[in-house]
Amino acid sequence: MVIITHRHVRATAELHGDTAFLERTLTDDFVGIGPLGFMLTKQEWLARHQSGDLKYASFSLDEVKVRVYNDAAILIGRQVQNGTYRGNSIQGQFRITLVFVQQQGQWRLAGLHLSPIGQPPSFTRE
């Protein structure tokens, strides 16, 4: 499936700061919502890499499930990363939701949302 392949290429692009790939595959109205609720436009998303402020040592997506609805697809998975932003650690595991749309025969990323993965509350553990 194209979306599954796209996810591997996107992870590699984020890891290496491949802004040319990201520029081509993000919609013009892309919005990324970070793990603390902040929102980034396409230009702001790309600028993190272009400035050199964002540096990943590792970046992967796994536990992936994809649902396709005509010209839209939702990918839910786990993002595991280790890196720095402006010298501050951004290591973590996040549940990620990616929203893809098909434009001019290409799948493009229209939005994403990250939520930190924590431990279940103590009252839910046996």
Domain boundaries, the chain: 2-118
Which residues is 100 bridged to in the sheet? 73, 109
What mean pLDDT do residues 84-111 have? 96
7-53 pLDDT, tens per residue?
A: 778 889 999 999 999 999 999 999 999 999 999 999 999 999 999 99
Pick the CATH number of 2-118 from 3.10.450.50, 3.40.47.10, 3.40.720.10, 3.40.50.1980: 3.10.450.50
pLDDT digits (tens, 9 = 90+) for 67-89: 999 999 999 999 999 999 999 99
Whose structure tokens read 């994403």? 112
> What's the pLDDT at 38?
97
From the centroid of its chain, how far is CA 46? 12
Distance between CA atoms of residues 63 and 13, nearest Å = 19
Query: At a CB cut-off of 8 Å and minimum separation 6, what does 97 contact?
Result: 74, 75, 76, 112, 113
Q: In whole angstroms, what is the distance from residue 80 CA to residue 68 CA?
A: 24
Predicted local distance difference test score (pLDDT) of residue 9? 85
> 124 pLDDT exceeds 90?
no
Contact between 75 and 98 under an 8 Å Cβ cutoff? The reply is: yes
Whether the full predicted model's pTM is greater than 0.75, yes or no, is yes
